[in-house]
């Protein structure tokens, strides 16, 4: 079987959620499948060594213009040229006309949901991406042999949105994993190196927010502002790769511009260096308004950090009993949760222990095994 995997953004230096999922899928398929032949189609970029060499895995860089043109024209042409038997597109979109059976990983359909939190906010790049997805995804879903999504919550949302009958087995939930390098970092030299590299404060809360409205950055800032006013704490809020101008705007909206003095922006952090940041955090904040899975929760749990997350969408399904849940629309609940987990040592210990156990239930190897079975269902042996 010749399997084509779309990995358009894998060579870019600054990888994000869907990129890391695709990368882990490929790495784990390399470990478990020595029989089939794989063609990984990528756009040329700087991080050429992110996929290790393997005898039956061929990395094929494809020039071809902007994202839509690359995906709709360049990719299907290459799939046909290399004689592939199926195409797996990994990041929510795919060619509307594929020359071979198509499988798509549909991480979520947030961009298709007409709910108020997604009508405003976000960057122009995000808005363009959402418009492209809104046009392409309904057409691609009709033409897909299999549609993978990442939680049963999201599977139900997709089924309801597109009107799939219960008997339609094209839609499959396959959980994401969490990488093995996420574990408590105790090496003092490494902790000091990361602290100095990213100028981390001595004590901090950790928040992986971004400009996407679903991340609830404004709610977290309001909660942190109220927490500081109540406690006079020296704790700071550490945020990754966030735009300073966008942050200033949100602080003006919550009427606390001075809070910037208690927020530390690290810039982009390489994935392999995240464990040393988690390991130095007092708490991890993940009270999103909407998620299809929530890998960072599991990363924090594996690093021994108590997690505050939302009681909505997929978060309870993924976190199980190993996180403290809040209503993300109520900043006061986030504030109360921060206060509780900073003062109740027994509760902290309980969540840390449950977090280690819960996060151990998710692995990229299991995900790759499930995906390989789907490939074999699509391309049956002669």
Q: What is the CATH number of the domain that holds 345?
A: 3.40.50.2000
Place of tokens 């600054």: 14
Side-chain half-sphere exposure of 242, counting CA atoms within 13 A: 28
Q: What is the mean pLDDT of the chain?
A: 93
CA-CA-CA-CA dihedral for 200, 204, 206, 211, to nearest 10 = -80
Regarding whether 218 and 154 lie in a shared domain, the answer is: no
The CA distance from 308 to 195, in Å, is 23
Give the model confidence (pLDDT) of 117-149 as tens digits: 444 555 555 667 778 889 999 999 999 999 999
Regarding whether 260 and 310 lie in a shared domain, the answer is: yes
Regarding whether 212 and 70 lie in a shared domain, the answer is: no
Host domain of residue 296: 188-359
The CA distance from 97 to 76, in Å, is 8
Kindly state whether residue 173 falls inside one of the protein's structural domains.
yes
Give the model confidence (pLDDT) of 37-63 as tens digits: 999 999 999 898 899 889 999 999 999
- Count of structural domains, the chain: 2
Give the model confidence (pLDDT) of 58-83 as tens digits: 999 999 888 889 999 999 999 999 99
Regarding whether 162 and 214 lie in a shared domain, the answer is: no
Round to the nearest angstrom and report the end-to-end CA distance of the chain: 11
Kindly state whether residue 183 falls inside one of the protein's structural domains.
no
Percent of the chain with pLDDT over 90: 82
Average pLDDT over residues 192-204: 97
Residue 330's CB: how many other CB atoms inside 10 A?
14
Regarding whether 172 and 71 lie in a shared domain, the answer is: yes
Contacts of 324 (CB under 8 A, 6+ apart): 306, 307, 308, 309, 337, 340, 341, 347, 351
Q: Starting at the earlier edge strand, list the strands of the sheet with 283-286.
A: 263-265, 236-239, 204-207, 283-286, 307-310, 324-326
Regarding whether 30 and 96 lie in a shared domain, the answer is: yes
Kindly state whether residue 38 falls inside one of the protein's structural domains.
yes
Kindly state whether residue 293 falls inside one of the protein's structural domains.
yes
Q: Is residue 7 over pLDDT 50?
A: yes
Question: What pLDDT is attached to residue 118?
Answer: 46
Question: What pLDDT is attached to residue 253?
Answer: 96
Q: Is residue 87 over pLDDT 50?
A: yes
Regarding whether 195 and 153 lie in a shared domain, the answer is: no
The CA distance from 203 to 189, in Å, is 18
Residue 382: pLDDT band (50, 70, 90) is low
Q: Is residue 370 over pLDDT 50?
A: yes
Judged on CB neighbours under 10 Å (0-12, 13-18, 19+), 242 is buried
Kindly state whether residue 283 falls inside one of the protein's structural domains.
yes
Regarding whether 230 and 193 lie in a shared domain, the answer is: yes
Side-chain half-sphere exposure of 310, counting CA atoms within 13 A: 23
| Residue among 43, 48, 28 nearest 176 (CA) | 28
Regarding whether 92 and 194 lie in a shared domain, the answer is: no
Kindly state whether residue 182 falls inside one of the protein's structural domains.
no
Residue 167's CB: how many other CB atoms inside 10 A?
5
Question: What pLDDT is attached to residue 123?
Answer: 59
Kindly state whether residue 141 falls inside one of the protein's structural domains.
yes
Regarding whether 94 and 10 lie in a shared domain, the answer is: yes
Kindly state whether residue 8 falls inside one of the protein's structural domains.
yes
Regarding whether 272 and 354 lie in a shared domain, the answer is: yes
The CA distance from 299 to 318, in Å, is 12
Radius of gyration of the chain (CA): 21
Question: What pLDDT is attached to residue 129?
Answer: 72
Lowest mean pLDDT among 123-132, 205-214, 290-299, 334-343: 123-132
Percent of the chain with pLDDT over 70: 96
The CA distance from 317 to 348, in Å, is 21
Regarding whether 266 and 122 lie in a shared domain, the answer is: no
Q: Starting at the earlier edge strand, list the strands of the sheet with 102-105.
A: 57-61, 37-42, 2-6, 86-89, 102-105, 146-149, 171-173
Give the model confidence (pLDDT) of 142-183 as tens digits: 999 999 999 999 999 999 999 999 889 999 999 999 999 999
The CA distance from 66 to 160, in Å, is 32
Question: What pLDDT is attached to residue 375?
Answer: 97
């Amino acid at each position: 079987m010749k399997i084509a995997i779309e990995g358009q953004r894998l060579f870019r230096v600054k990888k994000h959620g869907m990129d890391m999922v695709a990368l882990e899928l490929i790495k784990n398929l390399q470990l478990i499948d020595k029989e089939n032949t794989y063609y990984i189609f990528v756009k040329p970029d700087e991080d050429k060594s992110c996929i290790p060499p393997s005898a039956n895995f061929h990395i094929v860089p494809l020039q071809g213009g902007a994202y839509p043109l690359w995906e709709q024209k360049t990719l299907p042409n290459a799939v046909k040229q290399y004689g592939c038997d199926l195409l797996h597109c990994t990041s929510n979109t795919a060619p509307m006309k594929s020359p071979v059976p198509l499988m798509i990983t549909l991480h979520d359909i947030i961009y298709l949901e007409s709910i108020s939190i997604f009508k405003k906010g976000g960057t122009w790049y995000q808005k363009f991406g959402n418009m492209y997805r809104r046009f392409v995804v309904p057409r691609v879903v009709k033409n897909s042999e299999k549609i993978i999504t990442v939680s049963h919550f999201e599977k139900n949302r997709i089924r309801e949105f597109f009107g799939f009958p219960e008997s339609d087995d094209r839609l499959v939930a396959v959980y994401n994993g969490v990488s093995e390098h996420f574990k408590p970092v105790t090496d003092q030299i490494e902790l000091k190196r990361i602290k100095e590299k990213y100028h981390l404060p001595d004590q901090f809360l950790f928040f992986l927010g971004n400009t996407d409205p679903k991340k609830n950055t404004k709610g977290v800032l309001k909660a942190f502002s109220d927490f500081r006013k109540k406690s006079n704490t020296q704790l700071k809020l550490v945020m990754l790769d966030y735009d300073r101008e966008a942050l200033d705007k949100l602080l003006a909206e919550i009427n606390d511009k001075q809070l910037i003095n208690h927020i530390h922006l690290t810039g982009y952090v390489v994935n392999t260096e995240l464990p040393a940041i988690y390991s130095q955090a007092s708490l991890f904040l993940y009270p999103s308004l909407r998620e299809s899975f929530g890998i960072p929760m599991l990363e924090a749990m594996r690093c021994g950090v108590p997690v505050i997350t939302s009681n909505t969408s997929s978060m309870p399904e993924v976190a199980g009993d190993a996180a403290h849940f809040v209503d993300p629309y109520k900043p006061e609940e986030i504030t109360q949760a921060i206060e509780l987990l900073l003062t109740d040592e027994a509760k902290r210990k309980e969540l840390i222990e449950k977090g280690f156990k819960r996060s151990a239930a998710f692995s990229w190897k299991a995900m790759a095994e499930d995906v390989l079975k789907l490939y074999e269902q699509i391309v049956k042996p002669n």
